[in-house]
């Protein structure tokens, strides 16, 4: 699934998102590529067994969107 960087000007919220995504990934037993850099966090879901994106990836991405919204002030 194409990654959309979730941007903030500081590291705190992107890092908090990365931690929340890590917890979600453990719950789902489905692990994304996760890149945290100053000001943004990129989460890339993909099912390696099928070599592409599945419904599971889309649902996980939707949950990450909800996590990101919950972290906003």
pTM: 0.82
Kindly report the CATH number assigned to the domain that includes residue 33: 3.30.1360.20
Query: Does 3 reside within a domain?
Result: no
Query: Does 43 reside within a domain?
Result: yes
The CA distance from 73 to 38, in Å, is: 19
Domain that holds residue 41: 13-71
Looking at the structure of the chain, the number of domains it has is: 1
Query: Does 7 reside within a domain?
Result: no
The pLDDT, as a whole number, for residue 73 is 81
Query: Does 57 reside within a domain?
Result: yes
Tens digit of pLDDT at every position of the chain (73 positions) = 556 555 556 788 889 999 999 999 999 999 999 999 888 899 999 999 999 999 999 999 999 999 999 988 8
The pLDDT, as a whole number, for residue 10 is 74
Query: Does 1 reside within a domain?
Result: no
Query: Does 4 reside within a domain?
Result: no
């Amino acid at each position: 699934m194409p990654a959309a960087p979730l941007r903030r000007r500081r590291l705190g919220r992107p890092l908090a998102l990365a931690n929340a995504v890590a917890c979600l990934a453990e719950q789902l037993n489905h692990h994304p590529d996760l890149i945290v850099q100053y000001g943004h966090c990129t989460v890339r879901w993909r099912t390696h067994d099928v070599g592409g994106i599945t419904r599971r990836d889309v649902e996980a991405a939707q949950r990450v969107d909800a996590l990101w919204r919950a972290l906003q002030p």
